[in-house]
Amino acid sequence: MNILLQDPFAVLKEHPEKLTHTIENPLRTECLQYSPCGDYLALGCANGALVIYDMDTFRPICVPGNMLGAHVRPITSIAWSPDGRFLLTSSRDWFIKLWDLSLPSKPLKEISFDSPIWGCQWLDAKNWLCVATVFEESDAYVIDFSNDPVASLLSKSEETSLSSTPDHGYVLVCTVHTKHQDIIITGTSKGWLNFYKFHSIFQSECIHSLKITSSNIKHVIISQDGGRLAINSSDRTIRQYEIHVNNETSTVELILEHKYQDVINKLQWNCILFSNNSAEYLVASTHGSSAHELYIWETTSGTLVRVLEGVEEELIDITWDFYSMSIVSNGFESGNVYMWSVVVPPKWSALAPDFEEVEENVDYLEKEDEFDEVDEAEQQQGLEKEEEIVIDLRTREQYDVRGNNLLVERFTIPTDYIRIIKMQSSSG
């Protein structure tokens, strides 16, 4: 039904509540990522396959690398370009591959390192820049895919040579500031958080560095508006900060807002994710075979508002589509994909607003002027006046009811008709 006709409080729920779909994936999902507008869901599988599902039909529609050059080891991360056409995948087979979904049969470009890749992210998709973290490396890599792919360490150059700087351990995660696209944040195995200002692929400077904890930093996430930062570390704590970056003076300020812990079971968190815009909610998956839920907290008060249940296995990776308000997570044992979404009960009376649902019979009371005779000319005039208001049917609305931008460019994966025909003729 038309979402605009619905009760706004039922529609505008800011997080999903019910398990609505399960996608069975025999290839075992290792990680997943929604396309920027939630049209597609990319699944990275244990055997290195990358499968893209169409989220209207819940069917796979594209398997990049089906002709040549798919990964041969589990995929560790997937990143969509903002226009939804290009995909970056990193894998345990030491490769980072760039895919163009208009020609998905083989990778557009690829680069190999000499150890497994933890993950990679776009730094600047327009200029083909991305950042990646590699197994047992002291720093993250910046990769330029514009020509032949080139990788360079986010060098700390002189600083590292000084013996006074403490051992930061290996870099495990990195992320890019959502508002200041030249700020890269990395987290290390010894609990250090480093902020870099990116100038060019061979030059970037460390502008801030601080020790958060003494254990591994597993995730660093930043809200869409760039005001909140959350860190998931293996000391079983999610720390949420308010972050201020001054680009001119290159200073970073962090203020601790909340710490989220499972006090009773002392669980670790597998994955964390913010909701859209100013990140009013934080969702996390729980580690361990006994826990099968996703927790959602309200970030301003730090209170737990919802536990997403219904799955009978541990959940790993999470991705959240804000257009359809659905959260998707993959199971650890079966590799299946679970989807929670907002279920809106159909309310047909909304289609005829002058009709009212009544609990019991009501005696109808005629209104004072209800059956008065109206002067026909006057009525005609009134109608004409109404008609004079020009209704704009062409301009597209910029925002949907949830405040998501509707004018974002959406890429549609082309249908490979030749392949379909060939498959049909070979099977028939």
Chain contacts with another protein (rule: CB under 8 A): 67-70, 72-73, 92-94, 114-115, 135-136
Comparing CB distances to another protein, the nearer of 49 and 325 is: 49
Size of the chain in residues: 428
Cβ atoms within 10 Å of 5's Cβ, excluding its own = 14
Indicate the burial class of 41 (C-beta count within 10 angstroms; 0-12, 13-18, 19 or more): buried
Reported as half-sphere exposure (CB side, CA atoms, 13 A), residue 77 has a value of: 25
Shortest reach from residue 333's CB to another protein, in Å: 23
Comparing CB distances to another protein, the nearer of 113 and 336 is: 113
Shortest reach from residue 129's CB to another protein, in Å: 24
Comparing CB distances to another protein, the nearer of 134 and 272 is: 134
Consecutive H or E run containing 317: strand 315-321
Annotate 28-94 with DSSP letters as a single string: -EEEEEE-TTSSEEEEEETTS-EEEEETTTTEEEE-TTSSS---SS-EEEEEE-TTSSEEEEEETTS
Amino acid at site 323: Y
Comparing CB distances to another protein, the nearer of 70 and 325 is: 70
Comparing CB distances to another protein, the nearer of 167 and 400 is: 167
Comparing CB distances to another protein, the nearer of 114 and 372 is: 114
Shortest reach from residue 345's CB to another protein, in Å: 38
Shortest reach from residue 102's CB to another protein, in Å: 19
Cβ atoms within 10 Å of 211's Cβ, excluding its own = 12
Shortest reach from residue 413's CB to another protein, in Å: 21
Cα dihedral 181/172/194/35 (nearest 10): 20
Shortest reach from residue 171's CB to another protein, in Å: 14
What sign does the CA torsion over 236, 133, 329, 224 have? positive
